[in-house]
Structure 1
Amino acid sequence: MNKLAMTLWDFSWYTRTGPGEPFEDLDRAFTEAAERGYNCVRICAMPFLLFRSGLDTAALTFESLGGAYGQRTRWYDVRARTTLDGRAHLLGFFRAAARHGFTVIVSSWEYQQSPSFSADDAWHAALRVIPVDERPLALADAHADLVDLLAAEGLADTVAFVELHNEVQFSGLNDGRGIVGLRAPLEAGIDRFKQRHPSVPCTVNYAHVPIASLRGVPRNIDVAVFHPYVYGVLDELITTFALRDASRPFPQERAYAELLRDDAPPLEKWLPSPERQWILDATVVGTREIYTHDWCDPAKWDRWLYDRYGAHRIAMRAVLDLWLDAAADLAAARSVPLVFGEGWVGYTPLHGTFEEGPVGAEICEYAVRRSKEIGALGTIVCSNAAPQHPMWADVALQQRLNAEFLR
């Protein structure tokens, strides 16, 4: 397999297809990706929805989370309500990839947030009725069905490899048993897929690099895939404002002073429209995080991180090095290729520029260089370097880092 310079198109390639949206024209998106030096895209292929949900997918409708909710939050800023034929759109995507010489990493975000963009909760409900232990098997069957369709259309060669699901420890595949406890059901899912497609590499992936639980990574993976988001100074912000800890009070007045726009409503007033409240259960991103991303003053947010970055800089570099080296060691021990499918700092607001600015860009440069040094098969410039993010406009950085990795 050739080295993979990857751009992360997640679920956006089907949720963001309306007029003026980044994936309105798939050929244009692939052309722009090629111009930036990419040769691979990673997507949620909505396999369960299309092949195992039992739902009619000939007219799938996608829309925003409800009103202005999520419109300034990265990955959630769907503008237009659109309707498309799911399987036809999938085939159109893979045909476009083939025309432009791209391979595709086929994954699923369905047990994390993909269904939250649907116009109703049928997709989410169909996923949830499957017992947790059986979910890896259901995903394996769905992915195998998808590859069957691609093979029938002469498109199987576009698949770089298949991931049963994205970030399995932070998804609906995990009922609290943890990474080690997930190993057996994930191994069963990978075996199920391989029974039908033994020549197609199959794996799962993990948020961060879980160095204390690497024994829980399935023993039958064909690719080791990790997402090294180091957070550091960003984690201090998340902890300070209790963005992911609902057991603590939200510091509303401090947030107004240090993060938010003057016209921000209070937290309890910022929710999806009433008919869309079900999406709160269909996405892993909590209400506090969406609220602060939607209503932050990007300059305040970035200033908060820059003011404190110095205290975290050395530790962030050390964590990144530790994680990359540990991931490389596991891949070597298993005799499988290594891929970094996402990273490097963490989840920032749509209009924040910390990761796109001089500090973040330097972290991206270092991570891509280290990815090459440790022999990774694939890596990314940054999770935000994709058509649905403002960083897509930094053409020169993407061209330079992709060229350095592939050289």
Structure 2
Amino acid sequence: MRRETIIIGAGAAGMMCAAHAGPDTLVIDHARNPGEKIRISGGGRCNFTNMYAAPENFLSQNPHFAKSALARYTQWDFIDLVTRHGIAWHEKTLGQLFCDGKATQIIRMLRDEMEKTGAELWLHTAVISVRHGPEGFTLDLDRDGKRVSITCHNLVLATGGKSIPKMGATGLAYDIARQFGLDVTETRPGLVPFTFPPERFSGLAGVALPARLSNDRAGFDEALLFTHRGLSGPSVLQISSYWREGEEIRIDLDPEGRLFDSLRDTRQISGRKALTTELARALPARLVDHLAGVLDLSGNLADQSDAALRGICDALRDWHLTPSGSEGYRTAEVTLGGIDTDGLSSKTMEAKSVPGLYAIGEAVDVTGWLGGYNFQWAWSSGHAAGAAIRTRATGS
């Protein structure tokens, strides 16, 4: 049995690639359904791209690698595709675009695009082995318990990374890449909550507020959420991609910088108010109670000099914490690192040393911020590989 192109992985990147690669394309996946990460994303509504997607929103050892694919298939191209399929969408915040309805609409759209181009999908199909010879790539597969061997001219690695193993995530793409001499950079969980000792924030679980989280590499102004295990929320997930074990993070609980003026003004007219009472007007009360054990928040406002108020506000704007770790791949939204971009063409996603071998999506060392950026990389890189394959096959 032979196909022109086989794509391993029926996720966002794999299905996008199949929609552009040409009619003699087979997509295989060990899962029961395609696009499972699409289905669960965005609370079931799929944050399918970001209006502000640009190369600076992505992490990679080569920060320039993503530029070509992102420029040739932009967020506006995908928005146009979504609109043409009659899928209603809205902007939620910070350029994040979501379906008005269910995320399964995006999966259905990709399936329709695959069917339009003639691509075939095999589910319940696991890869046993891959080898390369004069006839191209030969894959030994287990399809519903039956052994199948199939040969192809083009092989696309689109199996994602290691994040959320309960959904079947593995390092298969990395293993195959190494088998054919491609380097794989260090991989680690990205967009993941931080953990702390159990007693650290147990009384704050469920408390949320706007905050700025930063370290020496980056900073993000978004919501912060305290949990039984530690810290989560968009600002935490964002900074986690720039964090290493053992490093501290900085939290600014007054990112707009208005607290000092507010406390000083209130002292002028209501000096007998307790400091903690007034702080609880700006911050969650449970957080103020917690911080009272860390900072000296006793007394009334009238008892506080300008210098004392400034010291308290400065401490609230520069709270240093060192996470004990992260929740790991179990809950990480993405995998940082992956197949080294030095071995790939930025225009076609093809391996420089192995003609016909491509790597796309999360399997590659390109990781986006939270907010639809990783899906945009899936669309852009999938399109780049698919278009290159089709152009080579048709000669146009």
TM over 0.5: no
Answer 1 or 2: which has greater helix percent.
Answer: 1
What is the TM-score of this pair, normalised by structure 1?
A: 0.31
What is the TM-score of this pair, normalised by structure 2?
A: 0.31
Higher relative CO (Cα under 8 Å, sequence separation at least 6) belongs to 2
Answer 1 or 2: which has greater strand percent.
Answer: 2
